[in-house]
Amino acid sequence: MVILAEDRVRAGHVQAENVRVITADVRGRFHRPHGFGVDALQGGFTLWNRQADPEVKLTAELLDISAGTEAQPVYGSGIFVGGHGDQDGHGDGGTVHVTLLRTGEVHTDGAIPARTPDLISGGVFVISGATVDVVQSTGPVTTYGPNDMVLDNWGSVGTWTATAAVTSHGPSGIGFVNFGELDTLDVRAPIVTTGNGARGFNLYDGTLRDARFQSIRTTGDGSIGIQISKPMGRLAVDGDVATSGGEGLSLVKGVQMTLKAIALSITAGGSVDALAIGGKLASGGTNVVTLEVEGRSGEVSITGGVEATGTGSVAVSIGDDAAIDLEGIDIRSPE
């Protein structure tokens, strides 16, 4: 199902409720938004304002939209909402304003060849040029192929809440990835990734005020648990952030790079005002770091400590210009 604003369409409101896309293959659709080094596949359900004129505005309320099944996932993205964007992935034309996007069960497989550097898909995808007041992911969202993000934001979102499992089974997938503007993220169910280079949560770009997760677990080589590359406010995890892989390839902004399965990475450009981990930070792979800090963190609480159990691994690595206080936190590395 595709709803486009193009040609003579200059305005409109879309009201959709209880829409279930049983099967779809959208890989052949020619038009694909571009940003951050990649093209993005359209969705089984697509609402897209393609007009370059910023005076062209759509509004929408999208309730209980589902796509695919475990036995027959949608080929492409799942649920795709966007406006007009430039080649850098930022909105620069017609817009769509969604008051509420509520999704049900979503299963997708972009069927993208492994190690492709410049093409992705998303289970639930808010594209540049879209503003969504509230996203509610009420059903499980599962992606199965390479470069398949599960939840992805390039646009502007007020509050995004997920109350069912967020799962990626392909290489170079990400449970939740943010490039846009996001005020509050609340994931009340586990994020699990099983492919190589498949990370749990990435703040690559944009803004994020507050993020809370139930737990994050990755099992593949190169599969970082959490990576923070921009300044953000509060980061909280109720349970554990755990990785079990070692070194492997992962897609990073259009480039396949070698990464290690760090549980929590705060890069040189990243910072966290307050960090609270209710469980532990843990890594089990060979020659990895559990907590790597090149940026800055304010107040820190890690109830279960920081643990590395793999051969040649260390629990903590802090860069020369980093700022973090780990006093009183239990730190455990292999002997």
- How do residues 7-18 score in pLDDT, each as one tens digit? 999 999 999 999
Q: Is residue 66 part of a domain?
A: yes
Residue 256 has pLDDT above 90, yes or no: no
Q: Is residue 55 part of a domain?
A: yes
Q: Measured between alpha carbons, how far is 148 from 143 in angstroms, rounded to an integer?
A: 6
Closest alpha carbon to 275 in 211, 214, 221: 211
Q: Is residue 266 part of a domain?
A: no
Q: Is residue 312 part of a domain?
A: no
Q: Is residue 125 part of a domain?
A: yes
Residue listed under structure tokens 């996203």 = 135
**Which whole number is the average pLDDT over 247-276?**
91
- What is the reported pLDDT for 220? 96
- What is the reported pLDDT for 253? 75
Q: Is residue 150 part of a domain?
A: yes
- What is the reported pLDDT for 221? 97
Banded pLDDT at 162 (limits 50, 70, 90): very high
| Structural domain range at position 127 | 1-164
- What is the reported pLDDT for 278? 99
- What is the reported pLDDT for 159? 99
Q: Is residue 217 part of a domain?
A: no
Number of domains present in the structure of the chain: 1
Q: Is residue 61 part of a domain?
A: yes
8 A C-beta contact, residue 310 and residue 285: yes
8 A C-beta contact, residue 218 and residue 195: no
Residue listed under structure tokens 């959490």 = 226
8 A C-beta contact, residue 278 and residue 303: yes
